[in-house]
Structure 1
Amino acid sequence: MDRRRFLATGGIAVAFGMTAPLLSGCDLVPVFPQRPDPDAETALGWIGHRDGRYTLRLPRAEIGQNIGTALKQVACEELGAGWDEVAVVAQDTDAIARVRATVGSESVRDFAEPLAQACATLRDALARGAPPGELLPEVRPRADLRAFRGRRFVGRSPEPDRLRDIVAGRPLFAADMTAPGMAHGRVLRAAASPETGSRPAAWNLQAARAFPGFVAVVESDMFRLGASQGLGIVAETPGALDRIAAALDPEWAVDAAAPPEIGAVIDIDRTDAGAAHSLADDSIAGDRPWDVDLRLDLPVAAHGGIEPRAALAVPSDGGMAVWTGTQDAFYVRDVLARGLGLAEDRVTVHATRAGGAFGARTICTVEAEAAALAQAAGRPVKVRWTRAQEYAQGFHRPPVSHRLRLRVDADRPAAPRLSDWQHRLVSSHILFTNAAVPPWLQALTDTFVGDGGVARGAEPPYRIARRDIGYDLVRLPVFTGPWRGLAAGPNGLAVESAIDAAALAAGADPLAFRLALVAEPRLAAVLRRLGEVADWPAPAARRPGFRTGRGLACGTYKGLSHAAAAAEVAVAPDGTVQVTRLWCVHDCGAIINPDQVRAQVEGNLAWGLSMVLMDDLPIEYGAVTAASFADAPIPRMSDMPPIAVELVESDAPPAGAGETAIVAAPGAIANAVRAATGIRPRRFPLVPADFALA
């Protein structure tokens, strides 16, 4: 960030700091999530001891990464406790001090050491017979912590916490929760873009009341989602909701303004030649031909979590308790407190296990619906979104259009050099999602700070003489926001496609070309090891009637974790692509639980495959039209090839594994398709006709 932008950013932060308290009750200003840094003092509230047993209250949401298991390993190692002596309890806003959202592959990286420090303090206090009461943290050097030098639990793969409950189908998820006297709710909305104003104009209350199970029709400001104002219904049973909604038959007033067609605005060749937000701005001469000139386009994509979101709200005398699978329980509490007109300490959010989150559950949506319905009905209400609601009302990975131009100095084949790298992209918002940020505030962030989520992964990990990288932002008629790795996956696909094309232009082997240019030693190490485990450059296995090829890619995630991936594909005569093998070498620093890291890597490889072959959410007139996985497919087991994952042993601090391999997986697959067909993939997901034999 240059001085001018730094000062501008400081100015906007000061302005927010001055005006937010004055406007805290104003609907014009959204609730801002808070992101406190964890420390040993805060962590003392996560671990407790009573009657010879320990309780670990999770500071992180359990969203499928099994963080409860990893942090339990750290606690057991530091405490010197047996596995069965430590009980893990899910996150609860009444039980621990505020913690930041579970995002960004930060859980082990940022929370393991504070937990270890707290456990060491508690262990020593118990050993010297200190009386019960508040402890002060005794912070010690990391090298003195048992959790990072012991191997009784850390570095191993014990049975995941709650695994037997998952297998047995015991209640763990928000949709499983029940309460005495519980009713069921839903919020109805117009079939229109959430950015287009819509509201209920009329409805048949008498017909709805005639149905058995009818409880209430509810109007509430808490049903506002973007520019969409909903209408709530409450019924005694889930099955009655559909019948009551049909009988209610609401008429919707929808503003006439037609939203822009997404392809017309997310088009790199239709935007200004400049870029509003610059990541690198070296001067590049325009009087020489480019060796690589590549455009790539990716559409909107859904998160595809198996469990649509749900929440159970239970009102009490002057308070509200909510059970939900959220990535940020404290933010949900803050939003509900404002919306319900309650003090923060009168709202409790119990975080349940989430059946897939991937960034989708960072804001307050279904929780607000359940709480408002419960408050109006005066009884517990559970709201479960349908799959169609998950698509229509959630936010998604934004579309992106890339243009990359490169010049390669190939006069020294043994030492290739990239002289010029120009990368322009246009996309929509990720960190400042329009699902939560109003247009005026988003315009302000666009002016002063841009969107770091859109920029993530756009800077290549290679030595390049001159770089010119920038992006533009467009607010879209669909909600866009965080998606696994933010833009690191799509940007990694673009960067690794371009570097592969540069290697081809230089007449160089793709692996050797990358190794000659990689600046980070640990990234170079995973690349070299990938070459060994994938037996590069051995040819792809032959399949009669198919064209086969191999490709590779690599990348660094958030400057900390490194991955290199290789793929083998088989392309049928009609252009259908099948991924037949995947390899990945992964370095995320010290590993607490190898099985869980490997699972995260495999998940990223599956997401990379989906990005290249499947991810596309159908949209018409700014409204999502998908209603099921049939309309927006995700990979099935039959789509997944054999996978080989090698984890690098490292003494470096843990750096995060949840999203790293997404930087390499899609590029490896796309480059393998080019190797098989001689055609560089340019639009995703791949269209078989683009690769069909004439």
Structure 2
Amino acid sequence: MDWRAKLDALPVTRRQLVAGAAAGGGLAVAWWLWPRHYTSPLAPGPNERDFVGWITIGTDGVVTVAVPQLEMGQGVTTVLAQVVAVELGADWRQVAVEPAPPAGLYANIPLAAKWAPLWSNLPSFASDPDSRLAENFARSNAFAATAEGSSLTAYEQPLREAAAAARAMLAMAAAERWDVEWEECAVGAGLVRHGEQQLGFGDLVEDGAQLDPPDPPPLRVAPASDDPSPAQAELAPAFPRLDLPAKVDGSFLFAGDIRLPGLVYASIRHGPLGKPDLSAFEAGAVEGLDGLVGVVRSKRYLAAVAESWWIAEQALKKMRPVFAGPPAAESAAALQSLEEAHGTIEPERTYATGDADDLLARPDYTQSYSVAPAVHATIETASATARYDSGKLELWIAAQAPELTRRAAAKAIGLSVEDVVLYPTAAGGSFDARLERRHAIEVAQIAKEIGRPVQLTWPRVQELQSIPVRTPVSARLEAAFLAASGGRIAAWRSRLAMPATVREFGHRLFDNKTPQAAMEHAAQESDALACEGAIPPYAIEHVAVDHLPVTLPFPTGRLRGNAQAYNAFFTESFIDELAERAGRDPFLYRMEMLGQSPRMADTLRRATRLANWDGGRRGTGQGLAMARIGSPDSGGRIACVAQAALGEGGVRVTRLHAAVDIGRVVNLDIARQQIEGGLVFGLSLATGSSIAYEEGKPVPGRLAGLALPTLADCPEIVIEFLASDAPAFDPGELGVAVAPPAIANALYSATGVRFRRLPLLSEGL
């Protein structure tokens, strides 16, 4: 499928390159270590050649990196391009990126392995990233999903190998001209040099394309990295964001920016949760409405299509759609059922070490915590553009799982997958909302019905109602102390009452189930992935984690931080309470249990030093928390000291000091942005971001009612990164996990009142 040729016909730039100081494209410099049947989806344009590649180099010297991950503000396009630039030896000013369409070549194998329980009948065999089952699944399904902070894990090595192969081919081309050994040539700053001789990449493109790269590719000794020292942070970044200039001048394309000849605009109404079926609407109310193009009625929605989105939205208001079904969802009763589950539902064991049950027959301390449903609140609501013509569908959409989105759209209108072309666009935020693809199905159906290109944009209230929320959870934590030990923990048990939320999500993503069908399939299932992060990061010999599966009347799904975030809130709040019972400084209490985790201990020590920790004494308003995401051997670590108090209007957080260990730091500037953004996102979860359902409708239904932090609410943030040779880790969700418990513990220090529910203050004082 020549998707570039299709793009040539559009009134937008042909490849939507995001460049620093260059634009254009050229020769695809690639290598043949990949299986030959997983070919590149990129077709060569003028002065270009395709060799199954990740990288193109033009005769003008521009290096373009194919990026198979969704850019949603996290900077993935810059980080992956930086990996190539360093390995290839390119000048950053000549580097551009190109969003890559779905293809087996770009498979996200580590994520497929982690999510094996969601798609495989043999998850124990497919859950290893080196598993052939995981690789075959990911490649054959073009599974290139953007999630779980997996971009570096999945793509750094293949991009390095592709860049090393390209570097060798350019060096070999230069060496032939100079009659020297190619290994004697140096490649850097966009030039190939030997002694006094030098040639630019563009000069070597044609000859280099004809050569065979060495096998294996000659990787450089050191991968891309930044010095994380505080002094370095004061300097201008060596690899500034590639997408920033286009975002500043407005030329960067999001899903809602696509414009096609003859484009019309659609708005939509879905039924309240629990009443999904459209039963009636006042069609006559819009007869003769100027600018209205058509009305599309489906079993589960009513859409209006017009010359402008505003006209379409007014038409829906006039038609007053009515939906029918079972009793509409009421969240108050549903949340009560989570609390009651601790006495009525048999726990399913998801993790155990030692014999926690025996030691906890009579626990020394038990406490309950909970989190309310949380919404995504993205900048850009669900938006997509579709054009249906002669049995072919073109789809412009921001999709975190693009191939599965393409397949869902094809099935919805009875097409083969080969007859659907998906053009990836960037997302205006996502927080995992764009793993859902209901709007892709709807825009395909509407475009086929109307017969013109259509852009569908959900109103905000539809976004809040129709994108599954982060699951509510009721947690009960129990601890037993070692005798005469000063409060040292002998046994720990965490029991989580919630839906099988990750399995529910998996049925929607991989099985293309409707939200209601996914809920029914996941009902009463045990869900270990939903309990991820419940194992405390401390040296406790006897630990058990249980899931109490509860069926709720509304769908649940993924949100930034996911299970790690709510479990960090439970764990770190409970640890603080245990430290108080033992009469210990919360910092020293934690440190005593980190003797076997030196990286965690160092992170905690640095955070308290940054914040001038005073022992967490009553009235000081300081609170401490830490979190680890990923495996104990690798992964990322963060410790945070919050300064907070109750002020006019609620919680006032004035300072957040964080120490972060993410292994090798690839791009310090973007890592800092991600930690800062994660901490503010965590602040939003601590103070708001929650909704209730009344008669199946979200309350509140607007951003203004979600108690999201404004710029004036954002605290002073001080971050220190620890130097490390450990594998690089994506930092995007660390701050989300650590901020809420740190703030909750700070509020206890300030007020003497424990807040055990998110959002904080939702239970009152």
- Give the TM bin, normalised by the shorter chain: 0.7 to 0.9
Q: 1:256 to 1:504 in 2, by over 3 A?
A: closer
- Residue by residue over 1:169-220, the C-alpha shift from the partner in whole angstroms, topping out at 9 and shown as x without a partner, is 2242111111110011123223x21xx2432223333432310112122234
User: Higher relative CO (CA 8 A, sep ≥ 6), structure 1 or 2?
Assistant: 1
Q: Does residue 1:383 correspond to 2:456, yes or no?
A: yes
User: What is the distance in 1 between the residues matched to 2:69 and 2:306?
Assistant: 34
User: What is the distance in 2 between the residues matched to 1:400 and 1:658?
Assistant: 23
SS at match of 1:323: strand
2:399 corresponds to which letter in structure 1?
T
Out of 658, 663, 680, which is 2:732 matched to? 658
Q: 1:446 to 1:105 in 2, by over 3 A?
A: same
Out of 60, 64, 71, which is 1:55 matched to? 64
2:254 corresponds to which letter in structure 1?
F
Q: Does residue 1:627 correspond to 2:701, yes or no?
A: yes
Q: 1:290 offset after TM fit, Å?
A: 3.8
User: What is the distance in 2 between the residues matched to 1:74 and 1:632?
Assistant: 38
What are the ranges of 5 or more consecutive residues in structure 2 without an aligned counterpart?
A: 1-32, 41-51, 107-141, 174-206
SS at match of 1:119: helix
User: What is the distance in 2 between the residues matched to 1:355 and 1:594?
Assistant: 23
C-alpha contact 1:93 1:330 (8 A) present in aligned 2:
yes
Q: 1:632 offset after TM fit, Å?
A: 1.7
Residue number in structure 1 paired with 2:245: 164
C-alpha contact 2:330 2:695 (8 A) present in aligned 1:
yes
2:504 corresponds to which letter in structure 1?
T
- Residue by residue over 1:413-461, the C-alpha shift from the partner in whole angstroms, topping out at 9 and shown as x without a partner, is 4xx521121221111243233682466665665666x324421111101
Further displaced range: 119-128 or 271-280 = 271-280
User: What is the distance in 1 between the residues matched to 2:345 and 2:284?
Assistant: 58
SS at match of 1:580: strand
Residue number in structure 2 paired with 1:208: 286
Q: 1:367 offset after TM fit, Å?
A: 1.7
User: What is the distance in 2 between the residues matched to 1:276 and 1:626?
Assistant: 34
Q: 1:440 to 1:357 in 2, by over 3 A?
A: closer
SS at match of 1:144: coil
SS at match of 2:659: strand
C-alpha contact 1:565 1:585 (8 A) present in aligned 2:
yes
C-alpha contact 1:477 1:623 (8 A) present in aligned 2:
no
- Residue by residue over 1:60-92, the C-alpha shift from the partner in whole angstroms, topping out at 9 and shown as x without a partner, is 110111111111111111111112322211233
SS at match of 1:121: helix
Out of 430, 441, 445, which is 2:501 matched to? 430
Residue number in structure 1 paired with 2:760: 686
Residue number in structure 1 paired with 2:377: 304
User: What is the distance in 1 between the residues matched to 2:222 and 2:83?
Assistant: 10
Q: Does residue 1:503 correspond to 2:579, yes or no?
A: yes
C-alpha contact 2:160 2:219 (8 A) present in aligned 1:
no
User: What is the distance in 2 between the residues matched to 1:588 and 1:397?
Assistant: 25
Out of 557, 560, 570, which is 1:484 matched to? 560
Give me the CA root mean square deviation.
Answer: 3.0
Q: 1:334 offset after TM fit, Å?
A: 1.3
Q: 1:99 offset after TM fit, Å?
A: 4.2
Out of 269, 275, 280, which is 1:188 matched to? 269
Residue number in structure 2 paired with 1:527: 604
Out of 531, 554, 557, which is 1:455 matched to? 531
Where in structure 2 are the equivalents of 1:244-393 lying within 5 Å? 244-256=315-327, 261-267=333-339, 270-272=342-344, 274-280=346-352, 282-285=355-358, 290-393=363-466
2:87 corresponds to which letter in structure 1?
E
What are the ranges of 5 or more consecutive residues in structure 1 without an aligned counterpart?
A: 1-38
C-alpha contact 1:171 1:177 (8 A) present in aligned 2:
no
TM-score (norm 1): 0.85
C-alpha contact 2:87 2:220 (8 A) present in aligned 1:
no
Residue number in structure 2 paired with 1:4: none
Q: 1:171 to 1:212 in 2, by over 3 A?
A: farther
- Residue by residue over 1:332-368, the C-alpha shift from the partner in whole angstroms, topping out at 9 and shown as x without a partner, is 1111122222222221212211111111110212222
SS at match of 2:685: helix
Further displaced range: 492-501 or 606-615 = 606-615
C-alpha contact 1:617 1:631 (8 A) present in aligned 2:
no
C-alpha contact 1:298 1:684 (8 A) present in aligned 2:
yes
Out of 73, 88, 105, which is 1:64 matched to? 73
Q: 1:489 offset after TM fit, Å?
A: 0.8
TM-score (norm 2): 0.77
User: What is the distance in 1 between the residues matched to 2:104 and 2:572?
Assistant: 45
User: What is the distance in 2 between the residues matched to 1:473 and 1:75?
Assistant: 45
User: What is the distance in 2 between the residues matched to 1:384 and 1:442?
Assistant: 26
SS at match of 2:705: coil
Identity %: 31
- Residue by residue over 1:514-568, the C-alpha shift from the partner in whole angstroms, topping out at 9 and shown as x without a partner, is 111124221111111112212222678x9xxxx5421111121022111111111
Q: 1:443 to 1:462 in 2, by over 3 A?
A: farther
Q: 1:155 to 1:557 in 2, by over 3 A?
A: farther
Q: Does residue 1:174 correspond to 2:182, yes or no?
A: no
- Residue by residue over 1:1-60, the C-alpha shift from the partner in whole angstroms, topping out at 9 and shown as x without a partner, is xxxxxxxxxxxxxxxxxxxxxxxxxxxxxxxxxxxxxx9667953212231332212111
- Residue by residue over 1:596-644, the C-alpha shift from the partner in whole angstroms, topping out at 9 and shown as x without a partner, is 1111111121122222222321211443233211222211111111010
Aligned residue pairs, count: 633
1:664 corresponds to which letter in structure 2?
V
Q: Does residue 1:104 correspond to 2:143, yes or no?
A: no
Further displaced range: 116-125 or 656-665 = 656-665
Q: Does residue 1:421 correspond to 2:465, yes or no?
A: no
User: What is the distance in 1 between the residues matched to 2:68 and 2:210?
Assistant: 21
Q: Does residue 1:125 correspond to 2:134, yes or no?
A: no
Residue number in structure 1 paired with 2:95: 86
Q: 1:287 to 1:397 in 2, by over 3 A?
A: closer
SS at match of 2:677: helix
SS at match of 1:294: strand
2:372 corresponds to which letter in structure 1?
P
Q: 1:381 offset after TM fit, Å?
A: 0.2
Residue number in structure 1 paired with 2:131: none
C-alpha contact 2:345 2:549 (8 A) present in aligned 1:
no
1:218 corresponds to which letter in structure 2?
V
